Amino acid sequence: NPGDAYQRFISGLDAMDAALKDNNMKRSLNFSDLQSAHKKQKPTVIQSVEGGHFLEGKIERLEEAYNRGLRHLGLLHDNDASVPLGDIFTKPVQWGGLTAFGADVIKECNRLGILVDLSHCTNDTINAALKVATKPVLISHTGLDTQLGQNPSMAKMMKPRLISKEQAKIVADAGGVIGVW
């Protein structure tokens, strides 16, 4: 229902606020915060969300999320948002890669300083996102599509989740990071 994803997101942030307070912890909002926490050997949180579902087509929610501490946005997750951002590797292609709203979200994240994570994106979505992004991106959980292993059923399941060497090079050359899992 309209508003459900947004309410779930806000409730999650509220719960994180309470957990941080109860554990005398803070979010790291910038590099200086990370350095300070490391120097003090104090745990810290980089606020993240997997999937831009909470946006529901409202780009201004990104700034609200940023003001609440969001610094890492997984553009997509396992199902489509009510206003789609791009194609997900676990579903049939519907949008031809990145949608116009997805491109706007990446641009706004770049402006605000929110790291964009392209995990769960199809290759076409990743390629389009890399053309739009002006800041380094992250693909936090993937691997190379040339490294499928010896188990045929596992290889079939993994193949759509993995990126090409060419994509990995583009991400790396732009200062981005690829997390292999």
Q: Is the pLDDT of residue 155 over 90?
A: no
Could you tell me if residue 69 is left (phi over 0), alpha (psi between -120 and 50 degrees) or otherwise beta?
A: left
Q: What is the largest CA-CA distance in the chain?
A: 48
- Report the residue count for the chain: 181
pTM beyond cutoff 0.75: yes
Per-chain mean pLDDT for the chain: 93
For the chain, strand residue ranges (E) read 47-50, 70-74, 115-117, 138-142, 177-180
What is the residue-wise DSSP string for 44-88?
Answer: -B-EEEESSGGGTT-THHHHHHHHTTEEEEES--SS--SS--B-B
- Residue 73, beta-bridge partner list: 49, 116
Instruction: Give the position of tokens 């402006």.
Output: 111
pLDDT tier for residue 157 given thresholds of 50, 70 and 90: confident
